[in-house]
Structure 1
């Protein structure tokens, strides 16, 4: 079993996920680049290796039980444990998302990736995380998942979205339940908000770079043993629920 810190980042072939993998790789960690698209995944692995990172590709579709099971087996065979899991894979879903006109199938698809996918991956990898001395789970959320901000007059919370924004509120609530269940273990699980980051998720309309968006996830992935759990954070600190 390797002495090096082992991490897995889902949705890591591009955007914020790629930069999280790059940032963790820069720490000298061995990082699994999880992605479902083989060509993009291998291109990301090659680029990260060219930059000096010790990475390996992990075929991973978070919506597919068999794919997630195979990914867990790959990491077990390769490293014997997992120290850090970053659940970054996510989708916005197609428009329109106004609640009076949204197709319920769109909501179902978004929740399947953004919430159920996180549960599926986390539960499959928990046995490997439990073998770590300092396991960390980081779930990538968004400030649009904050009910407080959504109900604050004048707060900037993006467009009306009956699929994407509530999926992040759902993820936030599920993460709290994980933190409660795991409170007597050494596993720290927290929510990270990258800010309005320019990625293909928003048509590159964001004002932050993917590298900036990755910073909070890297910080939560490297928390000390007495760090917080069940929290909701961006670069400025705690986000109101």
Structure 2
């Protein structure tokens, strides 16, 4: 684990934070004065991202974290416990789109490969559960713990925006539902859980085809990560407010 010493009073872990929206989320939280931990599967990429944050005066560190691997998640949780003892913000940002048709940008449900669907859900949903449950003891030590799951309006059953992305969109619907269940479980506790939709952000996730910057995409996530104690719970939000799903 690469660490930089600072005076931050709150600690935030962002998964998949070595690039794209995840990096922008970590950067934004760091600029607000939080100590940020860059979770990344690739230790070198994570270290490089943390170094970029440190270069601009942010208290940043990195931890190797593969959300699809039980041992990796458990080891990361132990490292966070040893170094910080508590966690105030968890942003479950790591996610994948899975394979799609490069011409139509679609995932056809009639030809869906089940192994590919399992791979997507393992990252986008099971990974969130793995990480959340592993670091929950650290979050419970915080006076105002916040959990934000990076989701998508493509998981909305009402809006159904964008192309047919049978595997990706379904995984986000699943994630939205899991978010609600966590919020219900934590209803009588200080732990506030929500999901955020960054919008169509230009990153390598979509071949830089988005119309929003990573900083713009990070904004709804950061807002939910810094909610007051009477903030909403169990919702899906984008920059304009509640996303019905």
TM range (shorter): over 0.9
- Aligned ranges for residues 133-212 of structure 1 at < 5 Å? 133-150=143-160, 157-212=161-216
Matching of residues 1-241 of structure 1 within 5 Å: 4-96=9-101, 97-150=107-160, 157-241=161-245
SS of residue matched to 1:9 = strand
The superposition leaves residues 7-61 of structure 1 with CA deviations (integer Å, 9 ceiling, x where unpaired) of 1000000000000000011111111000001221111011111011100011000
SS of equivalent to 1:159? coil
Q: How many residues are treated as equivalent by the alignment?
A: 234
Residues 88-97 or 115-124, more deviating? 88-97
Structure 1: any 5+ residue segments left out of the alignment?
151-156
Aligned-residue CA RMSD (Å): 1.0
Residues in 2 aligned to 1:129 and 1:136: alpha-carbon distance in whole angstroms? 8
Q: 1:3 to 1:202 in 2, by over 3 A?
A: closer
Runs of at least 4 residues of structure 1 off by over 3 A? none
* 1:3 Cα deviation after fit: 7.1
